[in-house]
């Protein structure tokens, strides 16, 4: 791998109350890719993302972003949590939520000002929500909530985006808009790691994939890693969908 | 002279209750939004042994000394709740109930201990149970206003951090903001808000001063700063009203009256607030249901007209009624439509006006 | 102990045991704060019934209190159903308002009768021996003891009769409904039991300390066992311990009996919290230290297993690599390797290169499949 990887994970193990949730994960994400993390429920996808973000204590292993530890690269990383992780009845406006993405750079006590408002409006325009800036968040639909979260991450202007199920429960139009946005971010050279649950769209949306079930089953370019064999290993006997015929099943199952 | 004295008392009681309501209302907003409404109850009960210990150690009943003791005990209780729930499988609500009752029991032991050691001089500590607003003097009001004002000032200073803490603390952590410290700060501010109220409303009812203003404020607005302002305002208004009411007749305790006023404000807000209010919601529903029924009748008339290839042709009321169940008041609906200028009365009964025809055509498209 | 003291001690024991029964279910159902809410909210009911009967021992008081307690629960649920306030706020609104009404009623109308808010709040079992129950012309003991005993027996009967239903409702209300166990009925049955216990006990321990006896012993028992039956028995047992220790301490120090009982319940809990064999803090710490090593050994085995036979094995399997990649301290890595070696999980292929033994391989693959 030439140059520093955007995300480099070595031997990552995370335990919850003495019970391991992630075992010995290795992963290298080169810069400028759009990568999916897939796996069954309880496979540790969300845990993985949270561990990368330093939200959970790590039992062992090393995580680096552009060859620097997380603490040093925080400004380079933006996070899009699951939509259901917050109370959407909270009394605040769309613009306010998006501006929260600037709080990290503002530092203590300083209030967001005109500049932050401008940035927030631009980000809202990018997700097609410019008309909703003054709207209260409890009036939003699921897809709109998701777009607000994306806009909040956009104003962070990060090099790495970590997203937890951004397509969960959104309508088809929003899904289309989101994937267009993700692709645009990739073409700007940003790196995106996306927890994804819809196996049908992996090949269409992403260029890399990690299959995760407590351990990393496989990772790499989609055509190499997203094989029937690897899916069976990941999902066990529970896999219940027909793979398209053009899937590259012959490839190396454990490409780094 | 007598009159002047009672006026002074009333002024102090009203002022003290207003300060208390302002602070507890403002800070209670965060407790309610974070689902920690009952933490205030635990803190206020847990403050009792702190009050007693402060008196035992300093031998003084100055409000400041007692407040510091109360604050330390309340703060310790909160840390104990957090540490037990984090290190064991015990649930948060069990710890709240356990801590508030055990700390209160320890406070009672200390109070009775003081009573038999120090004789009658512990009188005045008992007032912390129910509060005794009528004994407030200027010194007490100042002792409430300074820490209370300080707490509100800190809340304004760390506005953006507290907002993030209440809305999405995990996201805040990913940006490198020390949300845990912000959490400790907010708890400390809440402790201050509770402690300054103990002398006025007492440990038992203090939690209502945290919860009620915010619960009322929430109904009127969807903006955090407006909610904080409204809660503080409701808190102050409830405090003053309760204080004034209690002065109307001797022997009526101030604390419970303040709580009842706050309860009334909450009830009024739940019913009458413009957007979230239950009354408004019911009216809106009824209005929508009414409009839907009228539109249905309008479309019926349109459909009847189309059958005769003349949409403007009048039809007898019975024909319209026949298209719907008997309990649909077609006559009244037609009258309303007539008033709106969509339907006209004609020789053969009821017919669409030109405006009614246009409206029916758009509806037809929408409903399909 | 004098005769009166023995009677007080008996009363304390009966109160503690009676409170522990509904308390265990409150704790399990994450409704512990309901005990606080109900014990305060019943005050207006008690006051109203007292005005009607002018008798603090009238059974009407118990009925009225139970009705008010259930009314408070209904009010909380009504508030929640509007979806305008959350459960914690609803509880925090309802009980202070009801309690305030009770206090105001007392202040306004009770005057100098024997009922004041302090007494309701604090309770005082020391007076119990003065109120005797006389049957067939003979003094058979303090009335409170019989009243509390009756409530305790009612609680035992309730729990025994509806044990299965209570159990299912405590662990899975949804399942209880689908099985036709009427969780709502069980729910209100429990709330009634809490209300009745609270009103019977307020004379002896007051409305705040009844919370300590309802919540602290079951919370401690929750750290000692996983079985419902044991938890109920332990709750009652620990409650009795607190009642005895508390009363004896109060006698010695001449302080509030009810306060001392609540404090003792707190001390009992604190001891259990520290020393419980499985779920206590110390046990947890010890287990974590032990598991840290077992965990590290397992991790080492799985690490080797994952890279076994792959080209990178030559680097991944070096001890020096463990320090770098598992971010283990050099010292720690060496100790883990030594332990794993002595347990026969790994062997040294050469000075620095590790390899799995068959036993280590089996352990690793078993660990993986069990994940």
Asked if residue C293 and residue C255 are part of one domain, the reply reads no
Please tell me the pTM assigned to this model.
0.85
Using the 3D structure, point to which of B276, B311, B326 is the last residue of a domain.
Answer: B276
Asked if residue C346 and residue C252 are part of one domain, the reply reads no
Q: Do B105 and C89 touch (CB under 8 A)?
A: no
> What range defines the domain where residue C157 resides?
3-278
Instruction: Give, as one character, the DSSP assignment of residue C318.
Output: B
Whole-angstrom distance, CA of residue C137 vs CA of residue B36? 55
**Does A120 or C141 have the greater pLDDT score?**
A120
Stretch (H or E) spanning C116: none
> Which chains does A contact via 3+ CB–CB distances below 8 A?
B, C
Using the 3D structure, point to which of B224, B244, B276 is the last residue of a domain.
Answer: B276
The reported pLDDT for the residue numbered B309 is: 81
Asked if residue C347 and residue C272 are part of one domain, the reply reads no
Query: How sure is the predictor about B92, in pLDDT bands with cuts at 50, 70 and 90?
Result: very high
pLDDT 10s per residue in chain C (371 long)? 788 889 999 999 999 999 999 999 999 999 999 999 999 999 899 888 888 888 777 788 888 988 999 999 999 999 999 888 999 999 999 999 999 999 888 888 766 555 666 666 777 777 777 778 777 778 888 888 888 999 999 999 999 998 988 888 887 766 766 776 677 888 899 999 999 999 888 777 788 789 999 999 999 999 999 999 999 999 999 999 999 999 999 999 988 899 999 999 999 999 999 999 888 889 888 887 887 788 788 878 888 887 787 777 777 788 777 777 667 778 888 888 888 888 888 888 777 788 888 888 888 887 766 65
> What range defines the domain where residue B166 resides?
3-276
Asked if residue B115 and residue B235 are part of one domain, the reply reads yes
Asked if residue C262 and residue C326 are part of one domain, the reply reads no
Predicted confidence (pLDDT) per residue in A209-230, tens digit: 999 988 888 899 999 999 888 8
B97 contacts chain C (CB < 8 A): yes
Q: Which among C278, C281, C302 is the top mutation candidate for probing chain A, defined by the most A β-carbons within 10 Å of its own β-carbon?
A: C302
The first and second tokens of residue C109, run together, are 């109308």
Residue ranges of E strands in C41-143: 132-135, 138-142
Predicted confidence (pLDDT) per residue in B297-318, tens digit: 888 888 888 888 888 888 888 8
Asked if residue C177 and residue C133 are part of one domain, the reply reads yes
**Dihedral (CA of A39, A40, A43, A48) sign:** positive
Predicted confidence (pLDDT) per residue in B123-145, tens digit: 566 677 777 777 788 988 998 99
Asked if residue C315 and residue C295 are part of one domain, the reply reads yes
In chain C, residues with a C-beta closer than 8 Å to the C-beta of A61 are 325-327
Backbone φ, ψ for residue A13 (5° rounding): -125, 130
Residue among B166, B170, B177 whose CB faces A103 most closely: B177
Residues 6-45 of B with CB under 8 A from C: 32, 35-38, 40-41, 45
A64 contacts chain C (CB < 8 A): no
Residue C54 maps to which CATH number? 1.10.3470.10
Average pLDDT over residues A40-66: 90
Say if residue B72's pLDDT is above 60.
Answer: yes
Whole-angstrom distance, CA of residue B86 vs CA of residue B83? 5
User: What total number of domains does chain C contain?
Assistant: 2
Asked if residue C160 and residue C144 are part of one domain, the reply reads yes
Q: Do B222 and A104 touch (CB under 8 A)?
A: no
The first and second tokens of residue C331, run together, are 């010292």
Query: How sure is the predictor about A255, in pLDDT bands with cuts at 50, 70 and 90?
Result: very low
Asked if residue B237 and residue B299 are part of one domain, the reply reads no
User: What total number of domains does chain B contain?
Assistant: 2
C315 contacts chain A (CB < 8 A): no
C369 contacts chain A (CB < 8 A): no
Predicted confidence (pLDDT) per residue in A14-34, tens digit: 887 667 789 889 899 999 999
ipTM: 0.88
Asked if residue B307 and residue B245 are part of one domain, the reply reads no
Residue B119 maps to which CATH number? 1.10.3470.10
Instruction: Give, as one character, the DSSP assignment of residue B131.
Output: -
Please answer whether residues C31 and C165 qualify as being in contact, where contact means their C-beta atoms are separated by less than 8 angstroms.
no
Asked if residue B227 and residue B81 are part of one domain, the reply reads yes
In chain C, residues with a C-beta closer than 8 Å to the C-beta of A59 are 295, 299
A11 contacts chain C (CB < 8 A): yes
Query: How sure is the predictor about B1, in pLDDT bands with cuts at 50, 70 and 90?
Result: very low
Q: Which of B229, B245, B197, B264 is nearest to B16 (CA)?
A: B197
Asked if residue B181 and residue B288 are part of one domain, the reply reads no
Asked if residue C41 and residue C182 are part of one domain, the reply reads yes
Residue among B160, B174, B222 whose CB faces A91 most closely: B222
Q: Do B167 and A93 touch (CB under 8 A)?
A: no
Residue C357 maps to which CATH number? 1.10.10.10
The reported pLDDT for the residue numbered A229 is: 86
Asked if residue B218 and residue B310 are part of one domain, the reply reads no
Q: Do C281 and B36 touch (CB under 8 A)?
A: no
Asked if residue C107 and residue C41 are part of one domain, the reply reads yes
Using the 3D structure, point to which of C278, C293, C317 is the last residue of a domain.
Answer: C278
Asked if residue B139 and residue B206 are part of one domain, the reply reads yes
Asked if residue C176 and residue C64 are part of one domain, the reply reads yes
Using the 3D structure, point to which of B276, B306, B338 is the last residue of a domain.
Answer: B276
Interhelix angle B330-339/B278-307, rounded to 10 degrees, is 90
Asked if residue C311 and residue C243 are part of one domain, the reply reads no
Average pLDDT over residues A181-196: 95
Using the 3D structure, point to which of C259, C278, C297 is the last residue of a domain.
Answer: C278
Asked if residue B316 and residue B266 are part of one domain, the reply reads no
Q: Which among B33, B90, B105, B207 is the top mutation candidate for probing chain C, defined by the most C β-carbons within 10 Å of its own β-carbon?
A: B105
The reported pLDDT for the residue numbered B2 is: 45
A20 contacts chain C (CB < 8 A): yes
Asked if residue C90 and residue C106 are part of one domain, the reply reads yes
C81 to chain B: nearest residue by CA? B278
Asked if residue B219 and residue B168 are part of one domain, the reply reads yes
The reported pLDDT for the residue numbered A251 is: 41
Using the 3D structure, point to which of C278, C301, C334 is the last residue of a domain.
Answer: C278
A103 contacts chain B (CB < 8 A): yes
Q: Distance (Å) from the C-alpha of residue C291 to the closest C-alpha of chain B?
A: 16
Predicted confidence (pLDDT) per residue in B16-51, tens digit: 999 999 999 999 999 999 999 999 999 999 999 999
Predicted confidence (pLDDT) per residue in B163-216, tens digit: 999 999 999 999 989 999 999 999 999 999 999 998 888 888 899 999 999 999
The reported pLDDT for the residue numbered C34 is: 93
In chain C, residues with a C-beta closer than 8 Å to the C-beta of B90 are 219, 222-223
């Amino acid at each position: 791998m030439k140059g520093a990887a955007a995300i480099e994970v070595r031997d990552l193990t995370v335990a919850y109350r003495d019970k391991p949730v992630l075992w010995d994960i290795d992963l290298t994400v080169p810069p400028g890719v759009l990568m999916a993390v897939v796996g069954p429920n309880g496979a540790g996808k969300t845990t993985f993302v949270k561990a990368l973000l330093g939200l959970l204590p790590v039992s062992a292993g090393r995580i680096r972003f552009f060859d620097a530890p997380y603490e040093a690269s925080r400004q380079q990383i933006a996070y899009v949590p699951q939509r259901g992780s917050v109370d959407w009845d909270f009394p605040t406006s769309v613009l306010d939520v998006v501006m929260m993405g600037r709080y990290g750079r503002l530092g203590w006590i300083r209030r967001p000002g005109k500049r932050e408002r401008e940035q927030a409006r631009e980000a809202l325009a990018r997700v097609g929500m410019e008309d909703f800036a003054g709207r209260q968040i409890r009036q939003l639909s699921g897809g709109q909530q998701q777009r607000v979260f994306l806009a909040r991450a956009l104003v962070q202007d990060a090099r790495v985006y970590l997203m937890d199920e951004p397509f969960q429960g959104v309508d088809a139009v929003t899904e289309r808009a989101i994937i267009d946005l993700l692709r645009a971010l990739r073409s700007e050279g940003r790196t995106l790691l996306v927890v994804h649950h819809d196996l049908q769209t992996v090949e269409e949306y992403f260029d890399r994939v990690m299959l995760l079930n407590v351990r990393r089953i496989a990772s790499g370019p989609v055509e190499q890693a997203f094989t029937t064999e690897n899916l069976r290993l990941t999902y066990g006997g529970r896999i219940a969908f027909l793979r398209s015929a053009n899937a590259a099943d012959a490839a190396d199952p454990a490409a780094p | 002279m007598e009159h002047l004295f009672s006026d002074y008392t009333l002024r102090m009681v009203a002022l003290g209750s207003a300060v208390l309501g302002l602070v507890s209302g403002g800070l209670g907003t965060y407790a309610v939004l974070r689902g920690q409404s009952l933490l205030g109850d635990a803190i206020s009960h847990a403050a009792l042994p702190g009050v007693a210990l402060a008196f035992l150690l300093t031998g003084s009943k100055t409000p400041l000394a007692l407040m510091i003791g109360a604050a330390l005990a309340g703060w310790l209780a909160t840390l104990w709740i957090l540490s037990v729930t984090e290190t064991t499988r015990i649930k948060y609500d069990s710890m709240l109930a356990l801590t508030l009752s055990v700390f209160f029991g320890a406070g009672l032991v200390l109070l009775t201990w003081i009573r038999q050691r120090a004789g009658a001089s512990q009188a005045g500590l008992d007032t912390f149970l129910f509060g005794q607003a009528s004994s407030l003097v200027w010194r007490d009001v100042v002792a409430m206003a300074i820490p209370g004002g300080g707490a509100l000032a800190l809340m304004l200073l760390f506005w953006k951090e507290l907002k993030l803490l209440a809305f999405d603390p995990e996201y805040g952590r990913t940006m490198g903001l020390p949300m845990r410290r912000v959490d400790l700060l907010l708890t400390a501010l809440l402790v201050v808000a509770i402690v300054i109220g103990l002398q006025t409303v007492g440990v038992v009812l203090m939690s209502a001063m945290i919860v009620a203003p915010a619960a009322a404020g929430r109904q009127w607005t969807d903006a955090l700063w407006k909610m904080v302002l409204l809660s503080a305002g409701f808190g102050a208004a409830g405090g003053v009203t309760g204080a004034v009411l209690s002065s109307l007749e001797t022997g009526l305790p101030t604390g419970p009256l303040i709580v009842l006023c706050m309860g009334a404000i909450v009830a009024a807000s739940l019913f009458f607030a413009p957007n979230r209010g239950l009354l408004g919601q019911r009216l809106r529903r009824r209005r929508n249901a009414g409009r839907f029924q009228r539109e249905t009748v309008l479309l019926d008339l349109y459909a009847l007209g189309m059958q005769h290839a003349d949409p403007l042709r009048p039809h007898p009321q019975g024909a319209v009624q026949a298209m719907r169940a008997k309990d649909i008041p077609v006559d009244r609906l037609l009258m309303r439509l007539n008033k709106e200028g969509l339907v006209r009365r004609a020789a053969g009964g009821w017919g669409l006006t030109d405006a009614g025809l246009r409206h029916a055509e758009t509806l037809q498209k929408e409903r399909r | 102990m004098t005769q009166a003291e023995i009677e007080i001690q008996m009363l304390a024991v009966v109160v503690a045991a009676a409170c522990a029964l509904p308390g265990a279910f409150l704790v399990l159902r994450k409704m512990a704060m309901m005990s606080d809410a109900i014990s305060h909210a019943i005050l207006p009911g008690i006051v109203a019934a007292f005005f009607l009967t002018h008798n603090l021992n009238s059974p009407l008081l118990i009925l009225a209190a139970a009705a008010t307690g259930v009314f408070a629960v209904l009010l909380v649920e009504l508030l929640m159903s509007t979806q305008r306030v959350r459960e914690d706020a609803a509880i925090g609104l309802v009980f202070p308002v009801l309690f305030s009404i009770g206090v105001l009623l007392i202040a306004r109308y009770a005057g100098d009768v024997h009922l004041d808010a302090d007494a309701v709040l604090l309770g005082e079992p020391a007076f119990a021996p003065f109120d005797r129950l006389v049957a067939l012309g003979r003094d058979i003991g303090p009335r409170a003891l019989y009243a509390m005993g009756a409530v305790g027996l009612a609680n035992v009967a309730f729990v025994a009769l509806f044990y299965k239903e209570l159990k299912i409702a405590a662990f899975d209300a949804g399942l209880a409904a689908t099985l036709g166990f009427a969780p709502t009925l069980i729910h209100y049955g429990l709330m009634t039991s809490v209300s009745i216990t609270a009103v019977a006990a307020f004379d002896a321990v007051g409305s705040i300390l009844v919370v300590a006896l309802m919540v602290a012993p079951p919370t401690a028992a929750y750290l000692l066992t996983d079985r419902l039956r044991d938890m109920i028995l332990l709750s009652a047992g620990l409650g009795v311990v607190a009642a005895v220790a508390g009363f004896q301490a109060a006698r010695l120090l001449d302080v509030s009996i009810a306060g001392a009982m609540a404090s003792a319940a707190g001390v009992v809990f604190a001891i259990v919290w520290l020393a419980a064999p499985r779920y206590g803090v110390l046990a947890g710490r010890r287990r974590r230290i032990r598991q840290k090593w077992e965990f590290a050994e397992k991790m080492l085995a799985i690490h080797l297993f994952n890279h076994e036979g792959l080209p990178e094995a030559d680097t991944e399997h070096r001890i020096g690599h463990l320090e770098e990649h598992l971010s283990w301290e050099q010292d720690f890595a060496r100790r883990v390797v030594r332990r794993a070696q002595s347990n026969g999980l790994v062997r040294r292929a050469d000075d620095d290169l590790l390899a799995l033994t068959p036993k280590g391989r089996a352990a690793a693959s078993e660990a993986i499949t069990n994940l």
